[in-house]
Structure 1
Amino acid sequence: MSDRSFVLNLSCEDRPGIVAAITAELADLGGNIAESNQFWDRQTNRFFMRIAFTAPAAATRGEIERRLKPAIDRFAMQAALTDTGTKPRIVVMVSKFDHAMLHLFYQIRVGWLDAEVAAIVSNHPDSARTAEIEGLPFHHWPVTKDTKTQQEEKLLALVNETGADLVVLARYMQVLSDKLSNRLYGRIINIHHSFLPSFKGAKPYHQAHERGVKLIGATAHYVTPDLDEGPIIEQETERVTHALSPEDFVAVGRDIESRVLARAVKLHVERRVMLNGHKTVVFA
């Protein structure tokens, strides 16, 4: 039987001996470290670590957690162990603009993004045909003031039923409630069609064009009750000129949005993103 692969994420107050305590236990159970990243936030004295390792097939997840528990307790660590042999599952939410969603599907198809889509949810019927082609369940749940609470309860039920690890807002043009944002904190990624914190709200590319900007971009972030202010995972910009029209800005933006969202999802499912207050630690 071949070895099994895991990722261990941990954070705690920084002090000597953390790395030694964890790596000694992994070595003792026959583990082999394939990748190790760590970061010390000097402002908060918080230590973050991600270790990718293999372990003998006989070493179950429960056994590894049991062996690591004394070290985790000694340093009061927040720790999460992930078996990378199980593909993360994603619920994709989209409205009418589907470019970012289609790019995710392509990256999954070619194997760059190691995940599977559990379902598509939309407040419009436009992506039903895409779901049929991809062989995915499609849920058309229109949102109104009267149906918003019911729709979000259905979404939570879907996440539980499918065992989804992540909800991806691939240009889903609805504001989520504070309740839902809090319930799924750290498990919902949004792509914002501008380089935050500039040009929030409607038509950001038109706002940028009116201001004569020379760089436009996109931001992928975790969703929080504070609109478009969640911890940032990934960003990208591209140079533009006065000769481009607002429609040209939108076209450039579509490409950036698709790339940035795919990279953010990949970082998340590979457990390379760790929350650090209002920020993130990203072990790219």
Structure 2
Amino acid sequence: MAIFLTADSKVLVQGMTGGEGMKHTRRMLAAGTRVVGGVNPRKAGTSVLVEDRTVPVFGSVREGIEATGADVTIVFVPPPFAKAAVIEAADAGIGLAVVITEGIPVHDTVVFQAYAAARGTRVIGPNCPGLISPGQSNAGIIPADIAGKPGRIGLVSKSGTLTYQLMYELREVGFSSAVGIGGDPVVGTTHIDCLAAFQDDPDTELIVLIGEIGGDAEERAAAYIAEHISKPVVGYIAGFTAPEGKTMGHAGAIVSGSSGTARAKKEALEAAGVSVGSTPSETAELVLRRLATARETTPSLT
């Protein structure tokens, strides 16, 4: 099994005919994703040859859903038009919108997140790499060749780069799903949303949580883990060497005083029973140890 994205997911790409949209559409198709169409009002009724596949282009998300039964859309449109793109998808009744675009104004994000939530559309992102369920589907820009085989680890991460590194280091073990939620101050799907989904997924045995400095998302996730998660959780927090008051890469990664520091997040997670690595490689080693311990105590997991 997997969370949010499966082999049955039918995917539209808003902005498919642009440079980035086309490049990653090729990669998604190569990974086995069921890309059923693109969306571009100026090119409605045309089609695009992607490798050996002819992919139709629709004038709107609604037209794409009506023609193909799509339930996922991936947004590759420029920042000034991202809000309208997500609102259009939510109005059409899409179940999942994966917003890859970075540099979207926070006010726009707040508006489209609230709008989508009110209409039952889950948003992942913005400023995220998307999500992948290895062997099933890949929605976004995560390189499928680093993901390895399907497995029993669930991964939720703020950082795209660290998502890639942990997936590569644990590729021989394999993942049920990996979700890059994005590093902006406001995101549609949170650590807690993914933790809850992985807890309910019978094929996810262990959860990896990657956070970074800034905000209190990891502290809130720690409180949720303590109350609701029975599966083993391994964590990593990026930013131990970050100076206070500096923006470090992501717009949300700002430390103010003792709030939002890597140390505070690490302490909160460890208090909730999470094993926290000091480097990505050490985190991968902790995953292997926790898996081995879980399988010794629960033979049915082997």
TM-score (norm 2): 0.34
Q: Which has the higher helix share?
A: 2
Q: Which has the higher strand share?
A: 1
* Larger RCO (CA under 8 A, 6+ residues apart): 1
TM-score (norm 1): 0.35
| Larger of the two Rg values belongs to structure | 1
